[in-house]
Chains A and B, each alone.
Chain A
Amino acid sequence: MNNNNRHLISILMENEAGALSRVANLFSARGYNIESLTVAPTDDPSLSRLTLVTSGNEQVIEQIVKQLNKLIDVVKLIDLSETDAIERELMLVKTKASGEQRAEMKRLADIFGGRILDVTDATYTIELTGDGNQLDNFLRAIEKDAILEVVRSGATGIARGQKALHV
């Protein structure tokens, strides 16, 4: 009950100016924590899909869900952690890649299913997709001082099976 579990909440909301601020504001105003947040329009341009990762005990998560539903711009939402879901995050990593490092970096990128998007004589820019843990593992696997820059999109997700969040 008091365990602070990680939750992946996916929200369908009106694609209107200010809708994102309402969500972000709710979290800061009520002291809820927000680990990541990602948002983009859907196939229906009047709707946006926002995915956020938060954590809290059962009671806090229940309030978060209720408070989000109370926002006028929120059409529907689903707590993907309560269901069987696929979670994915995109990461772009710029690494040093010279001398012996170069072959090793390429090998690790291959093992983690990454793609090298850009190459210079001293660097690689690698794209990786996976759940948060996979991305963390990759960063742990490569030499720490080889990392020049890391950009993560924040987690996004979708329920498995026939379940779908739509209007």
Chain B
Amino acid sequence: MELITGAEIMVRCLKEEGVEYLFGYPGGAVLHIYDALYVQDDVKHILVRHEQAALHAADGYSRACGKPGVALVTSGPGLTNAVTGIANAYMDSVPLVVFSGQVPTALIGNDAFQEVDAIGITRPCVKHNFLVRDIKNLAETIKKAFFIATTGRPGPVLIDLPKDVTIAKAEYHYPKKVKLRSYNPTIKGHAGQIRKAVDMILSAKRPMIYTGGGVILSDGSPELVELTQLLGYPITNTLMGLGAYPATDKQFIGMLGMHGTYEANMAMHECDVLIAIGARFDDRVTGKIEKFCPTARIVHVDIDPSSISKNVQVDIPIVGSVPNVLRAMISVIRDEKLKPDADALGKWWRQIDEWRGIKSLSYRQSNEVIKPQFVIQKLYEVTQGQAIITSDVGQHQMWAAQYYHFDRPRQWINSGGLGTMGFGLPAAMGAKFAFPDQDVACVTGDGSIQMMLQELATMKQYNTPVKIVNLNNGYLGMVRQWQEFFYQKRYCMTYFESLPDFVMLAEAYGHVGKRIEKPGDVEGALREAFAMKDRTVFLDFITDQTENVFPMIPSGGGQNEMLLAERDEMVSTHDEGMVLL
């Protein structure tokens, strides 16, 4: 009987789970784990420069390839720094297993050096967490953590490891399977509900398919494409759902929600049957709840029962995994040779095409100043729509979502739920680890990029060549836009009077930097950057300072109350909308 330390047990478990990369940062409480990592090559540790980045990189890795992301941080500040990344993954349902060091069990509760109550701090933003007090439970706890993180509605799971547990010895036994009597997600949809849903879907005169991040997380894109094309219905994706249905297909009518297309939001508002799949009726999507889809009967497919009828009451709920439920729907339709109402559908498409004709994503091009939308359009062209795009949070995020047409799932990686500035750069690095041969670009802004800038050093150390597309307008653009619209242009604390020279900064970190100030230079700079396959290139695009994101549903508005760039120069909002975000 061989006895090995807790740290060695942990590393062996990771190896058995097939973990390639462990993103982390050392410290006192995890020294034993780092010592166990030192003597092996199977699990590659990536040394980030800030714990938040470890989480975002693990998160980006997971979103890109579908495998769980794994991170390791030390106790105290290591853990508190990681909390934003954990919460970010929780809001977007990304499967992560996070190990945090903890002070020795005998000191827990004594306000020891670098002690925080990791379990208490993370409780509201993890799917589950464990404090391992006894080494005998360590391997099984790790198995449970991976099981919980990756099944059902995925999410981050934290394991808090007191230092003495990493030092203690035990026999190694990693269970092949784990069963939890209190956790058993429903995968297969209820056949009766599916049957009723199919009838409702086929009875539609003005149908609409609305899908979210759940389709991507469950790898349900092939089934979604098959069902959508079998029906011939219009489809819209949420910000989190982009790429689940090819954006260049004619049935795709754009993203919906606050900055969605006119046709997507109008079709939502006017539809008579709404088919919601792996989406959670988030407030960015619904606008004012009382005005949401006023004439629609709603089918909702989701693996999380608590997502159903949380914000919007639905008519036919189906709890189950997206691909499973959609396959069952497709079988019913094919077996019974069911057909949608072709006349009604034709009429509906004519209406949608009329809305499309408004061209809600048009903007005024300029020969003088670089329009941010133009940069994204060129990025799309230069990468032939094939790059993995990560983004930070703000105006640039919306422009990336609007103007880069994502044709495949896991190609678009952004912080949707929590809206975490700083996510984009470490996430791009994580995606690059998952797919070293693919082009990865991080679309960011001068505000967001400064929140995780230190990761340029990590990217140099591990040679993860990412193209950084910085839409630099000198402002916190999204906040500035709201101040312009709703606070009578009182631009409080949204202008950066001092910005670093990003070109020099990139060079200081050992990368290539380039500033682009003329519209005519945009495409050339992008081509040059992507030609440098093995270099991280920081492209600092000096863009129009006053450009706003359109279309827009102002707070408190309904989906049919969109503001369009050309039409609505002056914007006002409902008083009750002012309290909303």
Contact = CB atoms under 8 A, between A and B. Distances in A.
A70 B306 contact: yes
Nearest to A18: B119
B182 A75 contact: yes
Interface string A11-23: 0011001100110
Given A59-B309, A75-B181, A21 B123 contact: yes
Interface stretch (B124-132, B358-366, B481-489, B538-546): B124-132
Give chain A's interface secondary structure class: helix
A167 interface: yes
B316 to A, nearest CB: 16
B75 to A, nearest CB: 17
A151 interface: no
Give the bracket for the number of chain B residues in contact with chain A.
20 to 34
A75 B304 CA distance: 16
B419 interface: no
Contacts, number: 38
A41 to B, nearest CB: 16
Contacts of B181: 75, 167
A74 B182 contact: yes
A63 B306 contact: yes
Interface string B181-224: 11100000000000000000000000000000000000000000
A29 interface: yes
Contact of A21 (B120, B127, B128, B313): B120
Contacts of A17: 131
A153 interface: no
Interface string B119-162: 11001100111010000000000000000100000000000000
B197 to A, nearest CB: 20
A68 to B, nearest CB: 9
Contacts of A25: 123-124
A146 B66 CA distance: 67
Nearest to A70: B306
A78 to B, nearest CB: 15
A59 B313 contact: yes
Nearest to B125: A29
B39 interface: no
B305 interface: yes
B183 A72 contact: yes
A66 interface: yes
A48 B120 CA distance: 20
A20 B120 CA distance: 12
Nearest to A12: B182
B581 interface: no
Nearest to B182: A75
Contacts of B123: 18, 21-22, 25
Contacts of A62: 309
Interface in A55-73: 59, 62-63, 66-67, 69-70, 72-73
A75 B184 CA distance: 10
Contacts of B304: 70
Contacts of A167: 181
Nearest to A73: B182
Nearest to B120: A21
B128 A72 contact: yes
Given A18-B131, A25-B123, A72 B309 contact: no
A75 B180 CA distance: 9
A14 B131 contact: no
Given A63-B310, A70-B306, A13 B182 contact: yes
A136 B182 CA distance: 37
Contacts of A13: 182
Given A72-B127, A73-B182, 18 more contacts: A13-B182, A18-B123, A21-B120, A21-B123, A29-B124, A62-B309, A63-B306, A63-B310, A66-B306, A66-B308, A67-B306, A69-B306, A70-B306, A72-B128, A72-B148, A72-B180, A72-B183, A75-B182
Interface of B: 119-120, 123-124, 127-129, 131, 148, 180-183, 304-306, 308-310, 313
22 contacts: A13-B182, A14-B182, A18-B119, A18-B129, A18-B131, A21-B120, A22-B123, A25-B124, A59-B309, A63-B306, A63-B310, A66-B306, A66-B308, A69-B305, A69-B306, A72-B128, A72-B183, A73-B182, A74-B182, A75-B181, A75-B182, A167-B181
